Structure 1
Amino acid sequence: MSNILFVCGKARKRSPTAAAVAAELLGHSTDFAGLSADADERISAEHLHWADMIVVMEKAHLSRLTRQMKTHLKAKRLVCLDIPDSFEFMQLELVELLTARLARIVR
């Protein structure tokens, strides 16, 4: 079983929803964090050391994560889901989109 860290900007909507969906549907250990200074759960080196796979919501998050935490990303699997910031926490459309995209990347 993998430890999957979901990352978005503020860790309020997409990444906590993704963590809940992956934990429930796929049975993986999950956590979430945000890249912004005012994120509800700010990303840390501990998050990255714990994770086997890091899943970001947007390509911009991938670039930002690499700039901010490059030294902690060695040997980590990085995946971008390309999910825009247009959903609410646990919104049905977001859950459906996450379910479909996660099925393609998580074994």
Structure 2
Amino acid sequence: MDADHIDWADVIFVMERTHQAKLNRRFRDRLRGKRVICLDIPDDYGFMQPELVALLEKRVTPHLR
């Protein structure tokens, strides 16, 4: 993720609190006015692993309504 992605986004989802902390450290000034939502999903799944996709759908969907 780079500054352009942060500037473009209205809502940013992270899987773990450690990801949120890293994001805050790196882009603190650019995050003003942005919603950063931690999904509390451990980052130990493989790319597009079906269990991960199901968890993401379950936890992200309520925030998109």
Q: Describe the SS at the equivalent of 1:89.
A: coil
TM-score when scaled to structure 1? 0.58
The structure carrying a bigger strand percent of its residues is 1
- Paired residues, number: 65
CA deviation after TM superposition for structure 1 residue 104, in Å? 1.8
Bigger relative contact order (CA 8 A; separation at least 6): 2
Distance (Å, rounded) in 2 between the aligned partners of 1:105 and 1:86: 23
Give me the TM-score of the superposition, normalised by structure 2. Answer: 0.92
Deviations 1:17-58 (CA, angstroms, capped at 9, x unpaired): xxxxxxxxxxxxxxxxxxxxxxxxxx2110101101011110
Supply the RMSD in Å over aligned alpha carbons.
0.9
- Which of 54, 62, 65 does residue 104 from structure 1 map onto? 62
In structure 1, the gaps of 5 or more residues are 1-42
- Segments ≥4 residues shifted beyond 6 Å: none
